Structure 1
Amino acid sequence: MLDKVELIATSAFGLEAVVAEEVRNLGYDKVQVDNGKVTFTADVSAIPRTNMWLRTADRVRLKVGEFRATSFDELFEKTKALPWADILPENAHFPVEGKSVKSELYSVPDCQAIVKKAVVESMRKQYDTDWFTEDGPTYKIEVALLKDIATLTIDTSGPGLHKRGYRDWIGTAPLKETMAAALVILSRWKPDRVLMDPFCGSGTIPIEAALIGLNIAPGMNREFVSEKWPNIPREVWRQARAETHELARYDRQLEIIGTDYDDEIIKVARRNAEEAGVEDQIHFQRMDMRDISSKKKYGYLICNPPYGERLSNHKEVERLYRQMGESFAKLDTWSSYVITSDENFEEFFGKKASKKRKLFNGMIKVDYYQFFGPRPPRPKKEVAPIDTKE
């Protein structure tokens, strides 16, 4: 059985600090942050818990070993020396994938073949057999080489963690669920405040906000490849799922609004919200962005508008962003958050951002423009009258 494990939560570039904060909030404090990944040590229950709860990580990997390798012999011998039989059962299906960046060993297919052979040799000695059927549970191994450092991991997630299970149709230029959750988390939105997405598309940002507001674990209703691993007790998975139900705040009332000019995409958004179980928390309606309004004095506008890669010409982008600036100005006490790849966004929008954060939406480099509105006044505390009677 697995006991203490070293795990790596992978992430999009720019979201490492967000993922690290999520990991710490789950109670794991031995956290190391690097480009594209967050490494931490925990007991085996962290595998189901992090897979179910992490909103912004791409996947969770079990780290087997890390070492320097500049020759194929070195890669083979050091991989073979790792304790594979302590992790892989005899009938494990263990495909190998790989990647190499700025390393002497740049041929990924060769690295994959060598790691596969080394794992087989290691297990052959332990299990005293020359043949592995590989008809059991899947343990997908990755060999990642970065500047001649090889990191060997096993994927515990299966399909990426953005696959929540509620999005059956995503339209053009989709925003990953993990990125949408990150936009909401980075805004520091509070569930007692109104949130509006005037470019809601298939509803990803409003749905992720609703899951956050209700404290619903994003992975509570999906399966993970490591659920079939015999070295993680079923009881550990049962307890992790029970925790997701115990901590959900189904009774909380949220005010989340999603609008879009496309009637058909609004229907898709409603269907996705229903699949996610949050349809009662989000008001979707067809509306042109120029017509947005609210009676609420304080709120959050969070959106992923079309940008250069998604509109046909630059003039169209410029016109849209100028209209956004005029429309958002009507809600001048609200905070606004916009993700776009257009480096001239502030100029067209007509306002300088309070803060900018560099992110990657898929392979596209983007900026997250944050325009902070005024803080709402704190509610006055009631002061008990002074009794002057003696």
Structure 2
Amino acid sequence: MKKVELIATATFGLEAIVKREVIDLGFEDIKTDNAMVTFKGDLSSIPKANLWLRCADRVLLKLGEFNATTFDQLFEQTKALPWEEWIPEDGKFTVTGKSINSKLFSVPDCQSIVKKAIVEKLKKKYNVTWFSETGPEYTVQVSLLKDKAILTIDTSGTGLHKRGYRENSVQAPIKETLAAALVKLSFWNKDRLLLDPFCGSGTLPIEAAMIGRNIAPGLNRSFASEKWSIFKPEIWKNARVDALKSIDQNVQLKIKGTDIDPEAIEIAKENAFEAGVDDCIEFDQKPLGELDFKDEYGVIICNPPYGERLSEVEEVEKLYTSMGNYFENLNTWSKYIITSFEEFENFYGKKADKKRKLYNGRIKVDYYQYFGPRPPKSIT
């Protein structure tokens, strides 16, 4: 089967998590760089990576990499790449681009040069002068960093955070990929209670349930490369069948999501149903002060309000103080809290055991981690 080189793009700070996922999926020649993890496989790696990567943003097919300081170099070296092996005569392809610290700094010009080079290559292959572009979509990206060009085709289409279950959401929801990463960065496992006291539309509990049940995050959506002519139908079909067989229907999960907003709770229940995990998450409309921490050991993972607007700062300061008071006696629990509020620890009342810098969309955030003791083996 044809060998391919793929790039899993990642939000800043999540490269190590994505690398671990790539390793666990059994891929080869893995390399990590800023915001990306590169790896190799065969054609079947494309559906496998798209279906299973929880924390990556996209899966890109790498066509080539070279130095380019002039438009002539960009044109000739792009034209030399094997575009005809991937894009059929009726293929619809667009070119996106970005340039950082490179002599070729005009992104529109780079896009135009790359498009022209691909067209010239395909003209020669198909012996035509005009393309209908009525077939499957191929999004080509030219990425220039310090005069090094990387040419890719996007195999995912819509970003991987779009799982297909979140039809509705509340204001300022957390991305599904980041939510999955927060769970993976915690010490939660499927035998322990997980609580999100600010669950909103339920993304964190749902992602945890999908991890606990081993549900492939891309199982309920489609991908751009599913329609590519290079794939025999059974390649994608087999990948989906394998993913379905991997689901653990017997696992008993203890996951709870609460929120003060009754509308958010209803949305969370709907989303959990769409994700196929409504039977293993308990959602309840409750304010923070009414939570009952009966379990001796547990894990709290939450994405509370940040106070991005000046009018909300005082309210958020009070909330973080209340969180510190309510969680103070939970000595055997682990707490994981993500926020952009830089004074969080001061109002929470305790310095985190570990703090990790991440991004929630374009917002710079910190992931505050408070570690509880390891439960006895009889409990875990």
**TM-score range for the pair, normalised by the shorter chain length:** over 0.9
Q: How big is the shift at 1:208?
A: 0.3
- Secondary structure in structure 1 of the residue aligned to 2:137: coil
Which residue does the alignment assign to 2:187?
188
Alignment partner of 1:296 is 2:287: no
Distance of 1:310 and 1:304 partners within structure 2: 16
- Secondary structure in structure 2 of the residue aligned to 1:302: strand
1:35-79 deviation line (CA, Å, top 9, x unaligned): 111000111111000100010001100000011111111111111
Within a 5 Å distance, the mapping from 1:166-181 to structure 2 comes to 166-181=165-180
- Secondary structure in structure 1 of the residue aligned to 2:164: coil
1:176-201 deviation line (CA, Å, top 9, x unaligned): 00000000011031100000000000
Which residue does the alignment assign to 2:26?
27
Tell me which amino acid in the other structure corresponds to 1:52. L
Which residue does the alignment assign to 1:275?
274
**Quick one: structure 1 residues 220 and 377, their matched pair in 2 at CA, closer, same or farther if it must change by over 3 Å?**
same
Tell me which amino acid in the other structure corresponds to 1:352. K
Within a 5 Å distance, the mapping from 1:228-377 to structure 2 comes to 228-309=227-308, 312-377=311-376
Which residue does the alignment assign to 1:383?
none
- Secondary structure in structure 2 of the residue aligned to 1:322: helix
Q: How big is the shift at 1:112?
A: 0.7
Contact 1:311 1:317 in 2 (8 A): no
Distance of 2:309 and 2:48 partners within structure 1: 36
Structure 1: gaps (5+ residues): 381-390
Tell me which amino acid in the other structure corresponds to 2:365. V
Tell me which amino acid in the other structure corresponds to 2:25. L
Which residue does the alignment assign to 1:208?
207
TM-score, normalized by length of structure 2?
0.97
- Secondary structure in structure 1 of the residue aligned to 2:151: strand
- Secondary structure in structure 1 of the residue aligned to 2:365: strand
Contact 1:4 1:42 in 2 (8 A): yes
- Secondary structure in structure 2 of the residue aligned to 1:95: strand
Q: How big is the shift at 1:18?
A: 0.3
**Quick one: structure 1 residues 291 and 13, their matched pair in 2 at CA, closer, same or farther if it must change by over 3 Å?**
same
Distance of 2:378 and 2:3 partners within structure 1: 47
- Secondary structure in structure 1 of the residue aligned to 2:311: coil
Which residue does the alignment assign to 2:156?
157
Identity over aligned pairs, percent: 60
1:119-139 deviation line (CA, Å, top 9, x unaligned): 011111222221211111111
Distance of 1:69 and 1:310 partners within structure 2: 44
Q: How big is the shift at 1:312?
A: 2.6
Q: How big is the shift at 1:317?
A: 1.9
Alignment partner of 1:6 is 2:14: no
Q: How big is the shift at 1:311?
A: 6.8
Distance of 2:259 and 2:351 partners within structure 1: 25
Distance of 1:228 and 1:85 partners within structure 2: 16
Distance of 2:150 and 2:123 partners within structure 1: 22
Q: How big is the shift at 1:330?
A: 3.3
Within a 5 Å distance, the mapping from 1:141-156 to structure 2 comes to 141-156=140-155
Contact 1:321 1:348 in 2 (8 A): yes
- Secondary structure in structure 1 of the residue aligned to 2:38: strand
Tell me which amino acid in the other structure corresponds to 1:53. W
Distance of 1:268 and 1:88 partners within structure 2: 41
Q: How big is the shift at 1:314?
A: 2.4
Q: How big is the shift at 1:86?
A: 1.4
Alignment partner of 1:71 is 2:70: yes
Distance of 2:62 and 2:166 partners within structure 1: 30
1:263-298 deviation line (CA, Å, top 9, x unaligned): 111111111111111111010001111222221111
Alignment partner of 1:137 is 2:136: yes
Contact 1:291 1:327 in 2 (8 A): no
Contact 1:142 1:154 in 2 (8 A): yes
Greater CA drift, 11-20 or 87-96: 87-96
CA RMSD of aligned residues (A): 1.2
Q: How big is the shift at 1:166?
A: 0.7
- Secondary structure in structure 2 of the residue aligned to 1:313: helix
Tell me which amino acid in the other structure corresponds to 2:360. N
Alignment partner of 1:120 is 2:119: yes
TM-score, normalized by length of structure 1?
0.95
Distance of 1:302 and 1:36 partners within structure 2: 24
